[in-house]
Structure 1
Amino acid sequence: MELLHSPFGSQLGTNYVPSDPDVTQIRQLLTRPKARVDEVDKEIKRITDLLENLQRERQVYSTYINQHEAILSPIRRIPTEILQCIFLRCLPTKHNAVMSSLQAPVLLTHVCRDWRAAALKMPRLWASLHIPIPHRPQKPFAYPSYPTPALPQLTEEEFQAYTQSVQRWEYKMQERRQIVKTWFTRAAGCKLSISITLWEGRRSSAEAEAVHTTIKSIMDIVVSYSHQWKRIEVLASHPHICDLLALPMHTVPYLEHMKVTCNPFSTSPIASGPALYRQVSPTGLLAAPSLTSFHCKLLPESPLSLPVNWAQLRELYFDGAASRSFDGTTLEFTPSDAVKLLRSCPLLVRCRMVVVQNSLFSPPVAPSAFNFSSEDEEHAAPITLPHLEYLSIHEGAPLQDFFSQLEAPILNDIVFTSSIPPYDSDSTSLVTLLKNCGPTVQKLTFDFPCLTVEDIQQCLSLVPKLTHLSLSSNPRERSFVVHQYDPQRISSSARLNNALLARVTPGLIDDGTGRKSVVTLCPKLASLSCKFLSPEFSEDALVDFIRSRRSEAMYRHGIAPLQKVHLCFKRPKQDVDVMKELEKENVDVHGLRVAVTYAHPLHKGVESFSPLLGLAPDALLPYPC
């Protein structure tokens, strides 16, 4: 390419204003370059057209090749038996299959004809189903901003929108009824896993019959397959729960797992007045001959009164019982009740329960330990659970005596929360539990504000094999029942500060003989998870903790390498980046997972210096368009 020279080179790119002679000279100077540009444009067009023709030709050949190579795809030649095994791995693992074309098994029937045929011929693929029944739309209403003797009538637009929403609900329920029927037909004779969520809202008696008829039509289909039930989970109001539990036990010969969650605040669609308590049938569903896993929540019954074959249970989850008056309160389940229940379940492997005493009031003085009455002296013998591996318990009444009786030789996973404030002079119930079972515990979860600092240190000293430690500050758990407290005493809730973290940070000391020894709690710890509602320990202390537990010197002294750290701070992010600090200090982070999250600076209760603080979202500003 010819190098272009310009006599105006020194003026190019400046604010120079050319004279009339210069203008004429510049125009003459550009004549030849403009002609060359036109020639180049024509050549570019020719080459571009040639390139486009070649690209179109290539696309034709590529399409031809791809279509034929698709026929050679190995997935097309996989035997049906292997394909069906792959299909099973596509099913959800944390819940039952859902009625969605975006998830298996329905999704698998939309790929091709062969896959659809294979899926439809596989009953096991259709052996689980989640059935959601949303509440029927309610008639809209609005209170006027001024006193009025009667509520305003619906406008035509409001009535039309309400009618359309009701029609859509009725159509969807009929559609789901047909889906449920078809789904269970495809499952053939397989044992079924079913979960049902039945939401109900308050409605007038005029709407009640239509809603009841619709719900009953779906439930009748589910009940007609009760002889195939293996797992059943139901969230519904008390009347629907009672109807389900009234099924004769001989109709569910294969039922192994049952979860019943009663919604005490939901209004029955067939009840004209307050909900009425109905006693559970002694020969109903709960007496199923093969039942080994039972989970109940807010059922208006004490567990001891339920006709469950406790002696064969391997899993028991009791999350509290609702009051029989359906007023939002809970029934008592005292430590004495817990003793009686666990004595009836010698085969338990997993257990969760909420122990509540005097839940309707706070006594003036809380006892340091629960004392059994003279009638319960026979319960002083040990509670032996030789197969128990997991225990989760919420303490709504002191459990020291209860835990002192417990014998669980292979218990390895404990979750403990409490509604009882900690005091310096009293030892927590968790210490009593760990004195009995601590040597075998590998996983421990507790709400640390319900313990004192001394309690935490003692608990951690009682679990030498601990590998997973999870600490949280969850007021929702502590507010599950009304606290039992002494108004004359001040609680001493622990704070997970730098000093406490230092107790689980390994360090070398001289034992006096010239040899080094390690001083730390939880030498086998591999995973630490903490969630805070206030600032606790610092990032620098965290870096020291991780560095020490990842050092080669500690490995040689028997300290297990830390594998996972998950922390959630309720404060803005600091200047310290934990992983960068570790890498800067040449700490071995291979295989280490560290996740540290912080609250957003604009969250309520979090310090913020944002220049946007106090500004409302645009959608809330009443400015004219």
Structure 2
Amino acid sequence: MKRQAAFIPLLSSCLMDPKIPVSISRLFRTNCVPSQMDAQRIFTLLAERNQELEIVGAEIERTRAELARLEDKKAGVRGVVQELEALMSPVRRMPTDIIAHIFEQCLRDEGLPTANPRKAPLLLGQVCKAWRELTFSLPCLWTTLRMEFPPTSSDWDTAMQSIIMTMHLWISRSKGLPISLFLDHPKGSPIPWSALVPLDQQILTLGTRFKELTLHFSPQALSSLLTFTQSSIPSLERLELESSNSLPSRENPPAVVLHSAPSLRSLSVSWGCLDLRDFQVPWSQLTELSLQYEASSFWNPAHSNYLTILAQCTNLKSCYLGLGALLDNMLFDLDLIEPVTLPCVETLKIRIYAQTPYLERFFDALDLPQLRSFEIQNASLALGSFTGQTECLPLLVRSAGTLENLSFIRIDIPDVAVVACLKQLPCLKSMQFLAGLLRLNHNLISALTLPPTSDQSQLVCPHLDTLHLRCSAGMAVEAIAALVESRCVSEPRLQRFHLQFATFEYGVDTRDAKIAMLKLRLQEYIDAGLYVELTKSGM
């Protein structure tokens, strides 16, 4: 059928050709044999048409050649236009200092610079010769470097030589400015001592120039990379030492002893066991302190008494602690704990690995008159041992005059205790309460619903503008909607509302349906500017 359809236009053109006799054209649609006279005419017509085809073909070739010439001419003119437009580009007239600022912003957008030719600053030097010269002439582009070590290597000595050469070349371009170095060796095969020695020497050589230093290695490797602490590190402001062990380990590097670090303001240590008794650190200089663990919810990390260290941190503003079991707990007399006041602390974050008698004593001893943000998280898998955990509530009440942000993550506290505490926090603006499965605090939703009254003394957290809660699918949509509506019609109005539906009941998951119903109920306030996020939680 397709061949027949294609034949019809050709046949029509033949019938319209006046040079083809009618007697011959009538044979086109038949199976008749041409007569001898018609055959002679057909031979003549074929010769004429073949000659005509040659003429037309030659004309087509000339036309194609002319088209190709014009296309080449067009490409040439376009190339000249592009070159002329490039000459008029504003970037050619842009002052060097402006370009330098743009290059610096490229680094900020990329995050921590790495020796990757596809990212800034190395990528910038590949644009043109001028940019390459400018890139290498700007020391500020080369003051920060993140080196990611391979997890494994068949020849660590050679691999380390290459890494050290890259570090040396990169840092040499910083022209003596203070530098920030982040060295990260993820879990994998251990680095032999012979390969660590030259790296330790390189770190020691750069010691006087460090502004920030992060070492993320196994405890064994860290033990070989602390020689720099024995010399003066006058510019060091931030030091982070983190174990990269993939499994819990009682193996720890030696105590940190800083002989001279007059500029140190931030210290972060994350090991498997934090015995701080032999640490020699200028604690009074610190404004930020983080004492955490390298990783595990499957065991109870141990540490010495943090309070003796915190008592020396008189200028601390931010504190992040991991609380587990006490070292030498049987010999430690909890009654000897003395009160500690930290007058400058504004942010306190706690991760709890074990519930011990030390918890209550720790929170009772702390006084934080300027506390603005508090976060506590259950980092253990032993949910049952964390029920009824109220040890931190007295601290919150003592800080009620300044506390603005509160976050509970996987912490189970009875409704009565929670509501009693919240009633004493009138300045609270943001609250995240993600309780564990054992107690989802459904009564908290009704307690936070503002009644139609003008008596501020009877309201619970009247100044909340951000609220993040977790509940089960059994919670009524009406109760949740009533909470949001009451907060959206009062001043200050609720700005952000997050809700996680944690569980479903009776084997039927109704969470998607309830999320849809709740969005429909709150659409009026969403249209008015309220940010709402409703999700299903895995817990």
Q: Shorter-chain TM-score: which interval? A: 0.7 to 0.9
Distance 2:469 2:256 in 1: 45
1:351 equivalenced with 2:325 (yes/no):
no
- Cα deviation code 1:178-205 (max 9, x no counterpart): 22111111112111111111246457xx
SS of 1:260's equivalent in the other structure is strand
Distance 1:443 1:175, change over 3 A: same
> Which blocks of at least 5 consecutive residues in structure 1 are unaligned?
1-25, 138-165, 268-273, 364-370, 476-492, 510-514, 606-625
SS of 1:508's equivalent in the other structure is coil
Contact 2:182 2:214 in 1 (8 A): yes
Paired letter, 2:214: E
SS of 2:264's equivalent in the other structure is coil
Contact 2:196 2:225 in 1 (8 A): no
Which of 370, 391, 395 pairs up with 1:429? 391
- Cα deviation for residue 500 of structure 1 reads 2.3
- Cα deviation for residue 407 of structure 1 reads 2.4
Distance 1:373 1:546, change over 3 A: closer
Distance 2:135 2:273 in 1: 42
Distance 1:75 1:542, change over 3 A: farther
Paired letter, 2:119: Q
Contact 1:123 1:188 in 2 (8 A): yes
Aligned residue number for residue 494 of structure 1: 439
Aligned residue number for residue 212 of structure 2: 231
Distance 2:519 2:228 in 1: 61
Contact 2:182 2:215 in 1 (8 A): yes
Contact 1:314 1:348 in 2 (8 A): yes
Which of 315, 319, 328 pairs up with 2:292? 319
Distance 2:531 2:157 in 1: 49
Distance 2:474 2:227 in 1: 52
Aligned residue runs from structure 1 range 156-167, under 5 A: 166=154
More helix by percentage? 2
1:330 equivalenced with 2:262 (yes/no):
no
Distance 1:438 1:35, change over 3 A: farther
SS of 1:560's equivalent in the other structure is coil
- Cα deviation for residue 283 of structure 1 reads 5.4
Paired letter, 1:503: A
Aligned residue number for residue 533 of structure 2: 595
**TM-score normalised by the chain length of structure 1:** 0.65
Q: CA RMSD in A?
A: 4.5
Number of aligned residue pairs: give it: 478
Contact 1:444 1:468 in 2 (8 A): yes
Aligned residue runs from structure 1 range 402-551, under 5 A: 402-418=362-378, 428-473=390-435, 493-497=438-442, 499-509=443-453, 520-530=459-469, 535=473, 537=475, 541-551=479-489
1:110 equivalenced with 2:48 (yes/no):
no
Distance 1:233 1:573 in 2: 44
Distance 1:275 1:447 in 2: 27
Distance 1:424 1:294 in 2: 29
Contact 1:415 1:444 in 2 (8 A): yes
SS of 1:106's equivalent in the other structure is coil
Contact 2:348 2:374 in 1 (8 A): yes
- Cα deviation for residue 501 of structure 1 reads 1.8
Aligned residue number for residue 505 of structure 2: none
Aligned residue runs from structure 1 range 60-79, under 5 A: 62-79=78-95
- Cα deviation for residue 243 of structure 1 reads 2.7
Distance 1:470 1:413 in 2: 11
Paired letter, 2:344: H
Aligned residue number for residue 190 of structure 1: 177
SS of 2:268's equivalent in the other structure is strand
- Cα deviation for residue 372 of structure 1 reads 5.4
Distance 1:278 1:348, change over 3 A: closer
Distance 1:372 1:94 in 2: 50
Please, which moves more after superposition, 217-226 or 170-179?
A: 170-179
Aligned residue runs from structure 1 range 260-299, under 5 A: 260-263=241-244, 279-280=254-255, 282=257, 284=259, 288-298=261-271
Which of 384, 405, 409 pairs up with 2:341? 384
Contact 1:231 1:258 in 2 (8 A): yes
Aligned residue number for residue 562 of structure 1: 494
- Cα deviation for residue 70 of structure 1 reads 2.3
- Cα deviation code 1:295-318 (max 9, x no counterpart): 111164412320111122111111
Contact 1:562 1:592 in 2 (8 A): yes
SS of 1:254's equivalent in the other structure is coil
- Cα deviation for residue 391 of structure 1 reads 0.6
SS of 1:222's equivalent in the other structure is helix
Distance 1:385 1:394 in 2: 19
1:339 equivalenced with 2:339 (yes/no):
no
Contact 2:408 2:432 in 1 (8 A): yes
| Structure possessing the higher radius of gyration over alpha carbons | 2
Distance 1:55 1:540, change over 3 A: farther
Distance 2:520 2:149 in 1: 52
Paired letter, 1:527: T
Which of 233, 244, 256 pairs up with 1:252? 233
- Cα deviation code 1:295-346 (max 9, x no counterpart): 11116441232011112211111114999xxx9763343xxx2322211111
Contact 2:152 2:189 in 1 (8 A): no
Distance 1:390 1:283, change over 3 A: closer
**TM-score normalised by the chain length of structure 2:** 0.74
SS of 2:400's equivalent in the other structure is helix
Distance 2:528 2:12 in 1: 63
